[in-house]
Structure 1
Amino acid sequence: MDFIFALAWWQHLIFIAFCVIIIIQLFYYLRYFRKLANYAAPKKEQSQEYPVSVIICARDEAPNLIKNLPGILVQNYKTTHEIIVVNDNSVDDTKYLLDEFRKSFKNLTPIALTQEAKLIPGKKFPLSMGIKSAKYEIVLLTDADCVPASEYWIQQMQDGYHNGIEVVLGYGSYYKMPGLLNKIIRFETFHTALQYLSFALAGKAYMGVGRNLSYKKDVFFRNKGFSAINMIPSGDDDLFINMVANKHNTAIVIDQDAHTLSEPKKTWTEWWRQKSRHYTTAKYYKKNHKFLLGLYSLSHALVYPLLIASIIFFNWWLALSVFTVRLVVLAVIWKKAMKKLNEEDLWPMFLLFDIWMFIYYTLFTPTLVKKPGKNWK
């Protein structure tokens, strides 16, 4: 009798735990992610074009610069702007390539670094040199392996600035190519953006991506640049934004003309290394951000194990009914948000991607405690 009672108690406990996880997931989707899905850029009474300094850091990036730099140099932006390329100790043909571009584009300013910065690993030192050399208050950052999705990238990104805004978060997408890996990379990029853009809209901005990010020089100098995070190889984008962004000074720009495009990794090993490097900075986020992100990730990772346990040990149709409620909400919000970010071709696979996230969290959880590498490339 005691055994039967104990078994029934555990069966009910499993289902209750499953329901709690579903409620947590619904909270995130209806409280936060719905904001991006339903987002419409605020209408401005008058549009103003600001002088902009675009900054790119490059180390041995000659092939990427040949392919991508022209897309930045020929932007349709009539207001004063400059393109700064920080040549960080390159040993390839970057210097000669920039010299050739400089002959045709007078607003291109190469900055050559010929010595490594001691005790400052990663990209922060070259980026700091670029920001300090910038002529204009608004700096717009991207990478050498990125190209603007349109000739209106500068125009769209700077349009995010209005009264009180000091940080503008953009979206850096990847080229659409055949194959499962490409779809997974693009979905993971979308899913990350769903979180950081939605949280920013909710007044809880916690990161940006260096492929498409803008802020004012005053924010950089007021917070003493990267001095608080210089010892960490990565984090020049997410950790800096985590440190300086707040609900009053941050805006997002997700117009498709404002996106940047990058070449995705071609092999699973390359992608694994890239993602592992990115996740090593998450442990340095503010405590409230770590809690929000951690609770969401944990709840997402537990959905399918608890669903299976509830089907086996409790009641299959009741468990599936509860799960269906979450799945419908997820499907609707993902579809609308994917359309906003020009990733809607991924939506037909939304169920597979949802299942994939359980595998994803299981694989990458150990990287949260891994020591960061020393190189930014």
Structure 2
Amino acid sequence: MTILLLSICILITVIHFGYYIIVFNFFNFSKTSQKTKNTIPVSVIVCAKNEEENLKTYLPFLVKQKYDDFELVLINDRSYDETATIFEEYEQKYDFVKVVTIQETDYFYGNKKYALTLGIKAATNDCLLFTDADCKPNSDYWIQEMANQFTGDTKIVLGYGAHQNVSKSFLNKIIRYETVMTALQYFSFAKIGIPYMGVGRNLMYSKAVFLKNKGFHQHIRVMSGDDDLLINQIANKQNTDICFDENSHTVSPPKKDWKSWATQKRRHISTASLYKPVHQFLLGLYTFNRLLFWLVLPASLIYIENTNYQLIITGLIAIKLISEYIVVGIASKKLNEKGLFLLIPVLDICLLFFQLYIFLYNKINKPYKWS
């Protein structure tokens, strides 16, 4: 039994090592491709439902982007606040702003994908750049940085959507840590050649590719997944690239309480079961292995009485912690996420069990509808 436990501990650590030292370093040692300045026409698309306050704050940053040829497509998704009024004001003031208004329909009630589809069809250009109504580009060159990667065979560009840094908030640190870890995964898998998701806060893809693959048709009845499920469907090694230069980031306000964040994550986690089998396996193995590590290795350290074996298990735990500090530390610096480094093990454990809670809760109470 002792030898079996030790063998399991070693296997768990080897799998961890494979993800952190091999897979994740595809991102850590990558550089944003230095491509010629692109001048391709771009349609920036923002879908909003009752986002009056956010639009007042963030739309000014979109219209002042320093890019020669872009239009701003604003989708009013059945809003009943002042969203329509704000959109009309921008359309009258700027000749590059186009407003698309969605009418209420029973069939598509609550589904953002219907609104996005109409906005995409109304877009003039093939190159589409998406962000949310509560997002602010990190620079005036956001469009330029993302567009520079949209060349040749590349028809999908995965960007980074950061969250604001709120001081003295442990929840904020966990949210930003989760954002870093998610990006570390989807950037790394994209660099390996098996892209599986992007984030709607900062995502670019071709209108032609979207229409060729029948858009959201495969998962139109799924309330979420307008970003990750679509990319899971259409992305491949040849047509996908990443962009993580600081000027290409978008920044959005994080959730302020655990309940709101849990609701958001329930929606996100619910789509993972619809990923391609290979993606489900790789992501599931990573999460399951993390869980096994914190359940098996500490328990084995207590159960096994042999001093030499205890030293080996202690060494395995040290390997995990050191590799996490190094790899996640590099990724955090690369993505300009500050204030996370010292808390990495604590944040990882808290995030793991939070995700486990969300997963189990979804199994009991399936999320059917999202506002």
TM superposition score normalised by structure 2: 0.95
CA change 1:267–1:190 in 2 (3 A) is same
* SS of equivalent residue, structure 2 residue 81: coil
1:153-302 to structure 2, matched below 5 A, reads: 153-178=142-167, 179-302=169-292
CA distance in 1 between counterparts of 2:210 and 2:109 reads 17
CA distance in 1 between counterparts of 2:120 and 2:361 reads 31
Determine the structure 1 residue equivalent to 2:359.
Answer: 365
CA distance in 1 between counterparts of 2:65 and 2:361 reads 38
Q: Which of 324, 331, 351 is the matching residue for 1:330?
A: 324
**Are 1:21 and 1:302, in contact at CA under 8 Å, matched by a contact in 2?**
yes
- 1:32 lines up with 2:23 in the alignment: yes
Contiguous gaps of at least 5 residues in structure 1: 1-9
**Are 2:45 and 2:130, in contact at CA under 8 Å, matched by a contact in 1?**
yes
Determine the structure 2 residue equivalent to 1:348.
Answer: 342
CA distance in 1 between counterparts of 2:178 and 2:62 reads 26
Query: What amino acid does structure 1 have at the position aligned with 2:366?
Result: K
- 1:305 lines up with 2:300 in the alignment: no
CA drift of 1:362 comes to: 2.5
Q: Which of 132, 142, 146 is the matching residue for 2:131?
A: 142
Structure 1 residues 35-70: Cα deviation after superposition (integer angstroms, max 9, x where no partner): 1111112233x3322100000111111111000111
| Count of equivalent residues | 365
* SS of equivalent residue, structure 1 residue 345: coil
The sequence identity of aligned pairs, in percent, is: 39
**Are 1:212 and 1:260, in contact at CA under 8 Å, matched by a contact in 2?**
yes
CA drift of 1:118 comes to: 1.0
Tell me the C-alpha RMSD between the 2 structures. 1.4
CA distance in 1 between counterparts of 2:53 and 2:352 reads 37
**Are 2:108 and 2:114, in contact at CA under 8 Å, matched by a contact in 1?**
no
Deviates most, 320-329 or 287-296: 320-329
**Are 1:14 and 1:309, in contact at CA under 8 Å, matched by a contact in 2?**
no
CA drift of 1:355 comes to: 2.4
CA drift of 1:237 comes to: 0.4
Determine the structure 2 residue equivalent to 1:70.
Answer: 60
Determine the structure 1 residue equivalent to 2:85.
Answer: 96
**Are 2:42 and 2:128, in contact at CA under 8 Å, matched by a contact in 1?**
yes
CA distance in 2 between counterparts of 1:121 and 1:62 reads 18
* SS of equivalent residue, structure 1 residue 14: helix
* SS of equivalent residue, structure 2 residue 66: coil
Structure 1 residues 150-172: Cα deviation after superposition (integer angstroms, max 9, x where no partner): 11110011111121001000010
Determine the structure 1 residue equivalent to 2:10.
Answer: 19
Query: What amino acid does structure 2 have at the position aligned with 1:75?
Result: Q
CA distance in 2 between counterparts of 1:121 and 1:242 reads 22
Structure 1 residues 205-256: Cα deviation after superposition (integer angstroms, max 9, x where no partner): 0000101001000110100111111111111100000000001110000011
Determine the structure 1 residue equivalent to 2:140.
Answer: 151
Query: What amino acid does structure 1 have at the position aligned with 2:319?
Result: V
* SS of equivalent residue, structure 1 residue 254: coil
Contiguous gaps of at least 5 residues in structure 2: none
Determine the structure 2 residue equivalent to 1:321.
Answer: 315
- 1:110 lines up with 2:99 in the alignment: yes
CA change 1:357–1:181 in 2 (3 A) is closer
TM superposition score normalised by structure 1: 0.94
Query: What amino acid does structure 2 have at the position aligned with 1:136?
Result: N
